Structure 1
Amino acid sequence: MTFPNLSFEHYLHPRPKPKGIDVKCSLQHFALITYAIDPIRFENIIPKRFKLDTIEYQGKTCALMSVVPFIDIDFTSAVYPFPNFTMGQTNYRVYVIDQTTQERCVWFLGTTLDSWTVAVPRHIWQLPWHKASINFDCIQNKEGFYSQYKMKTLSDWAASEVHLEQSETDSWQFEGFPNQETYQVFLTHPLAGFYYRLDGKLGTYRVWHDRLKPKPAKLVHAKFELLERMGLVSFEDQLKPYSVLIEPINEFTIYLPPTVL
């Protein structure tokens, strides 16, 4: 199976005008720790509306999922004057294709959030977001590369810890994709997310961002309890990610409220 070429030219578009309760934020210390996983492990996890967006990797068909830690800074209304919030967050997302629309998108296993505001998405919109205490300890050199990137999450749902390092000599890894741009479009530019709400219904929301420009990094240590508990990636295999990327900061617009399907 040959993966098709993807180009940012076909995926980038102007920002839809925010309205209502849409929000904007900057994501600091944005990392993508991605794992190649046997598709059979997602049986009974991904609804039939979606199919896994797979690649051929090391002689096997694999699905990809990313653990995505970052700090929301300047989280505020995209329309009205409103207080700004800062909070740590980690998303767990699987790359899928919506068979209804054929759009490449992500399936969220869930999210941890270090803020009392987690009550809003969790209780009002029934999003699978979970309270956590998240600490980042990051050091960047004068060129902007991370000589240290550490994140630790205390959470009943998804405790985790990760230690990354980065230098200008870190190489790109995109085996299974025809080129680096296709790999970057695939990992960084899904704009629709789907998930099971806490009430079991299917939910979705959309985001917008310009082209992200992360750079490769190396994993020193990782322990994601959710991936072990769900039987997706063992603690041993978590030390062998498919790829690691970091971008110091980027900007997102989130279109709310989420939709029930």
Structure 2
Amino acid sequence: MNRDTIKMLAMATMLVNHIANVFMPAGAPLTNLCLYIGYFTAVTMCYFLVEGYGYTHSKTQYAGRLFGFAVLAQLPYQLVFSEHGMAGMLQFNMLFTLLLCFLVLAAQEKIHSGFLRVFCIVLLIFASIFCDWALLAPVFTLLFAWAENSRLRKHVAFGVAAVLYGGMAWLSSMRTLGAVGALPDTLGCAMPILVSGFFILYLYNGQRAAQHRGFYKWFFYAFYPGHLLVLGLLRVALLG
């Protein structure tokens, strides 16, 4: 599988997650399954962000695209997810999170002072608290940056990412469901990360699509605000 095929799969799983989040009854087994499916997306996009950072011809343009489409997506994001629609500016969308992850990589590369580098990275990680995929996305990014081209380290990175997300889900759920009752949610959060690792480590050929590369490049940016706008309008029309 090429990079663009896996990214298309990540877009599809994100769409399933968002539909479940907005239109399906909270807590229902099918709703939870659809939400879990969407957890494939974050870790996958963090992996390809790290890869893209290494091969991009212009890091400035890359960051500019992330910022531009993040701004474009913010109002649709609030329309979909905010309790008060566009009036409730409560959280920044995942493209802002990916921009912070990009800046983490830039800080790691460009800042030579060890103390200042760590300080800036920690600051960027905590800034993600105000965004979707808070805290974990920058940590996933650092794990994949640490892994570099080592296949063994990539296995470790995906394993640690799964344990982190699954562990956080378990700690959150056990307060109401108990230690054993929290296990399904734990597995539901961890498994999509391991599935992402399987696709990337065992099915990914390391290449982009052979054709229509320009289309794929811009589709992945445009799909995010586009699908949010459609879902937001549907939410207003159907749910008020």
TM range (shorter): under 0.3
Give the TM-score, by structure 2 length: 0.26
Higher strand share: 1
Give the TM-score, by structure 1 length: 0.24
RCO higher in structure (CA 8 A, sep ≥6): 2
Higher helix share: 2
